[in-house]
Amino acid sequence: MSSNKDMQIEEKVEALLSQMTLEEKIGQMSQIRHFEESADAHIKEKFIGSVIHTQGTLPGKTALDWQKRFIQLQKEALSTRLGIPLLFAVDAVHGQNTYEGATIFPHNIALGATQNENLVEEIAKITAIESQATGFNWVFSPCIAIPYNEKWGRVYEAFSESTEITEKLTRASVRGHQGDLSDSKTVMATAKHFVGDGATDFGVEGGNTSLSTYEIKERLLSPYKVAVKEKVGAVMASFNSISGISMHNHKALLTDTLKVGMNFDGILVSDWKAYSRFNGNDVINAGVDVVMAVDGDLEDFQDGLAKGIKDGSVNMSRIDDAVRRILRQKFRLGLFENPFPNEELIAKIGNSSHRKIAKQAVRESLVLLKNKDKLLPLSKEMKKIVVVGEHANSSGLQSGGWTIDWQGKDDNYKGATNILEGLKKQTKGEIVYDKNATGKHYDADVAIIVVGEKPYAEFFGDIGHESNDLELTLTKEHQNYIKAYKEKGIKTVVILISGRPLVVTDQIDQSDAFVAAWLMGSEGDGLAEVLFGDYNFSGKLPHSWPKSIEDYKQKYGPNFWDNSVKPLFEIGYGLKY
């Protein structure tokens, strides 16, 4: 963007801001869900600035229906006194993952294994296109957390435990999503969650981060500097605390470090229901510009902020700063000239060229941890292959959380190819599916055993959280899948579907070949292409790999500060044929 264009935008922002009432300014700072009761009326009467799509009622059945719903809401906004257009936001964290039929890419942990910034940029471009095609101009991605403990339920949303890898892929992701922001095929990106979300003590979602100021600066802040340098449009505050201070109330980090120190001129958006969770106007005074005023928070937020201005506990300059940032991004996106989505983009959703890139990402993300006696690649001439495990026959299970539904799916979804389907494309021999390893196909040439985690998202994935019975190991059932065939002398290839490294030391010992396949998204046949040798393995571990549960008795996982804890595999490990 030219400096001349920047100046023109700033002039437009100031001209518009000077006309706005307090009620209109607070409206711009408010974000609601499109399916909430009275959403249409609130947009018009309460001057809402942005709309979010979350788990809940869909905008419609087809992408065109989605666009029509958002056009309807946009027309409500444009009919207000000043006609300020809406931002439409979605958690598109591995593709436009809320729309069934979209291209679903491997989660970020898998992209960290590729270390391919050109691929990550291309994935972000496609995500932007398919998001715009369903009516969105703002995505809450990329997550640039740096996870320190595999017990955290969001490890897979981040690229790597390495600051350097995270910096490289952050740059690529922001560039891909945003491109020329005024282009109808790009969206505003969001770097999240600022800051320390992945480095909480014992990996607790929204817990306390007790790292020193120096450690936060050296390890966690630099990806945000990269994102800001790439002109990322938004940053989302995180749920965690730092040294006991909630990030949503942490003015020293939100305002002094991010906005002033890094010269971030975009939107600082809150996370879910932050106003009611983190002491109301303290959130605004700390530097948050847009509040997710959802689940009954809208009235409390708007009335509370107006009251804060009246009693002097919130300064008007803080409100003006927030609204300037919101208007600035709306002008940069070209929404005043082109407020509606492009119907022509709908044909691109889930198309073959997009799926080709997703399949490439699967292939490049696979990490080969063991290959005894060069069992892999498998011969396409094998007479009989037995495939074991429910994960092999479910695109939902292979994709993880944030896939169609917030917590993911257990079954297949539209447009996807599951692992079993992909394997059947590759071989001339017989493939039999033995879901629970009870079929006793002991005449098979090889057993491909697919094991792993069930889908989860956010705190539902925290190891040790009361909402689940998750462990850092495989379930006994999945351990038995491997034993059932290995104990009969069948060669076994184990495929691990997981959102994090798990303690599978014994299972690696038992197997002939072992592959970390992460959460691969909609293109399961990418795995088959590598197993049968159409492509070689190229993925490298984005995290050090734990050897035992004992490694997690301290705050963090293996390979952090405590050199006495040796991981089973170092970060960067990965075999080839």
Beta carbons of 524 and 418 less than 8 angstroms apart: yes
Q: Could you tell me the two tokens for 88?
A: 């439409």
Half-sphere exposure of 271 (CA within 13 A, CB side): 22
φ/ψ of residue 368, rounded to 5: -85, 115
446-466 residues labelled b (16+ CB within 10 A) or e (exposed): bbbbbbbbbbbbbbbbbbebe
Beta carbons of 190 and 173 less than 8 angstroms apart: no
The residues carrying an active-site annotation are 271, 458
- Residue 225 burial (CB count, 10 A): 16
Give me the residues paired with residue 180 across strands.
none
Beta carbons of 342 and 88 less than 8 angstroms apart: no
| Beta strand extents in 29-175 (DSSP E only) | 30-33, 50-53, 87-90, 138-139
Beta carbons of 142 and 193 less than 8 angstroms apart: no
Q: How far is the C-alpha of 498 from the C-alpha of 475, rounded, in Å?
A: 12
Between the CA of residue 283 and those of 224, 248, 261, 271, what are the distances in Å?
Answer: 20, 5, 19, 11
Q: For residue 214, give the amino acid letter.
A: Y
Residue 488: DSSP 8-state: T
- What DSSP line would sit under 119-137, residue for residue? HHHHHHHHHHHHHHHTT-S
